Chains A and B, each alone.
Chain A
Amino acid sequence: QVQMQESGPELVKPSETLSLACSVSGGSISSSSYYWAWVRQPPGKGLEWIGTMYYSGSTYYNPSLRSRLTISGDTSKNQFSLNLNFVTAADTAMYFCVGGYSSGPPGYWGQGTLVTVSS
């Protein structure tokens, strides 16, 4: 059973970089069997897809975030990470890391971590 856990700062200053990591157990981030993604949810609002990383190294980003976003993997730690540059208050949200089988649905979710952008 795949399990996922987000980690990173809870508070980030405006214009700085938001960096989160997701530790994965029960599945390898370098396996062709899985893909890995990030989804966020501003307080009291709906879900927003951020981006997805595939075992091949291919990444797909939400067009609204693409210019500020990098998703990458660290196979030595079996983690994947999110880096979002030049954050503003609009980036304040619960951030979830997500995983799924190959072309299947996103069935594995971390518990989420709340990141607040504020000076």
Chain B
Amino acid sequence: DIQMTQSPSSLSASVGDRVTITCRASQRISRFLNWFQQRPGEAPKLLIYEGTSLRNGVPSRFSGSAFGTDFTLTINSLQPEDFATYYCQQGYTTLWTFGQGTRVEIK
């Protein structure tokens, strides 16, 4: 199985901050990496697909980058509604795996 290692597991930030979350795959997954946001009590919501593509309707302050097996989700100018848990997920193989999640909390 492909393991996805996400870091950090949690972080504290203020409104207006820039936040970076990293996900590392245990093997090459091309760009088949998706990022999700999950607010408490809600289903996960797709933000970024194929490593760098912003889903329609997602604010442009969210961006994704890819370098080999390392992927990054960046949130520029954190907004109050961005305090949530973020997950990466690889779709390179038919056996999906998720990262452990990163909880973004208010400082």
Contact = CB atoms under 8 A, between A and B. Distances in A.
A104 B96 CA distance: 13
B101 A46 contact: yes
Contacts, number: 52
A47 B87 contact: yes
B45 interface: yes
Contacts of A46: 87, 98-101
A110 interface: yes
Nearest to A108: B46
Interface residues of B, number: 23
Nearest to B91: A105
Q: Is the interface of A mostly helix, strand, loop or mixed?
A: loop
Interface string B83-95: 0000101010011
Interface of B: 1, 34, 36, 38, 42-46, 49-50, 55, 87, 89, 91, 94-101
